[in-house]
Structure 1
Amino acid sequence: METIAFTVNGKTVSVTADRDAPLLDVLRNHLSLVGTKFGCGLEQCGTCMVLIDGKPVKSCGKAVSTVAGKQILTIEGLGTQEHPHPLQQAFLDEQAGQCGYCLSGILITAKALLDRNPSPSRREIALALDDNICRCGSHHRILRAVERAAATMRLPTNPLPQAGEGGSPRSGDRVGASAGDVP
């Protein structure tokens, strides 16, 4: 066991865990951040995506020891019920989530895309989301939602929540992208 310190959703945390434990397990079981989902456990589906220092990473295959001193953003840090991130609002408006299980990973991946490219083409959005699997088949709505969020985020009056402004890192305070937000 090792004590590892990192920042998650704007808050510094320390956890004592096996250094090779998957980051996903530490987020869910040590920090009660259950918005990041377990999908395949093989780094194939993207359901477990988080941002590490601004880059999308599949947390099921990332050893917790490798994130010491790094900044991590999970779905819980994206927005709040009262102030959803424009991506979350666009997904609701476009009804992009059906079961909702994959959406935390898709939203995190889309955030990374829009952070580096505020005006992506539909092709660029599709390529960025290529590592995220949605089994419900709502791909066209997902693409529209990311386009809509990008347009909203480019507006001069858009009040974007900052990373970590999602309130408490506990799951009860997070904004799910759909009614199907399953722990």
Structure 2
Amino acid sequence: MTKIHVQTTVNGDAVEFLADPRETLLDCLRDHVGLTGSKEGCGTGDCGACSVELDGTLVCSCLVLGVEADGKSVETIEGMADGNSLHPLQRKFIEHAALQCGFCTPGILVAARKLLEVNPNPTEEETRYWLAGNLCRCTGYDKIIRAVMDAAAELRGEAA
């Protein structure tokens, strides 16, 4: 099968790779770009572990073909930290012990970042609804929600 040349921007960096037309964006990110933070939990878009932003839209990268990223921008968990500084969401997840095995954490963090971008002051109900597409089998979600709410307050400049 003929490979397709893909030119995209991943976490602000220009990236090129050759993709099989049937290859998912998740597989391209992991196998061709070397970014292994996004995980394949289900391969059917049900768990959210592979969540990334594609041109500003939150997507399950297991449901998007890699060739669809051509000419577009991709944001992954690896682009979340600013140099050596963790994003407030990442810090709050650590402070609140909002992760256990960590498999789902990259997808939840990417989804939560997008939530706070579109709604910097979400209610607990809005946060739970937004993150409903991200499944975690280890936690009871309470610490995750608390971490997101705490990060939202910090990003708004409010003391927690």
Which TM-score band applies after superposition, normalised by the shorter structure?
over 0.9
The aligned counterpart of 2:139 is 137
TM-score where L is the length of structure 1: 0.82
2:87 is aligned to 85
Structure possessing the higher relative contact order (Cα contacts under 8 Å, 6 or more residues apart): 1
Which residue of structure 2 lines up, in the alignment, with residue 160 of structure 1?
A: none
Aligned residue identity for 1:92: I
Q: Secondary structure at the match of 1:13?
A: strand
Segments of structure 2 that go 5 or more residues without pairing to the other structure are none
Task: In structure 2, give the amino acid aligned to 1:155.
Answer: G
Counterpart in the other structure of 1:161: none
**Runs of 4+ displaced beyond 4 Å:** none
* Shift, 1:137, TM fit: 2.4
Percent identity at matched positions? 43
Q: 1:116 aligns with which of 95, 114, 118?
A: 118
Query: What SS does the corresponding residue of 1:51 show, helix, strand or coil?
Result: strand
AA of the residue aligned to 2:97: Q
Residues 56-85 of structure 1: per-residue CA shift (max 9 Å, x gap)? 100011001111111111100000573000
Conservation of the 8 A alpha-carbon contact between 2:49 and 2:107: yes
Matched residue type, 2:102: G
The answer to whether the 8 Å contact 2:52/2:74 transfers is yes
Equivalents in 1 of 2:117, 2:26: separation in Å? 23
Q: Does 1:18 align with 2:5?
A: no
The residue matched to 1:46 in structure 2 has which SS? coil
Letter in 2 for 1:66: E
Q: Post-superposition shift, 1:141?
A: 0.3
Q: How many residues align?
A: 156
Counterpart check, 1:45 vs 2:19: no
Question: 2: CA distance between counterparts of 1:152 and 1:82?
Answer: 19
* Amino acid aligned to 1:151: A
Which of 149, 152, 165 is 2:154 aligned to?
152
Q: Is the 8 A contact 2:98 2:139 kept in 1?
A: no
The CA deviation at 1:20 is 2.5
Alpha-carbon separation, structure 2, partners of 1:65 and 1:138: 37
Extract unaligned runs of 5+ from structure 1.
157-183
> Offset at 1:155?
1.2
Matched position secondary structure for 1:61: coil
Deviations 1:3-52 (A, max 9, x none): 01110000011110112210000000111100011111111100000011
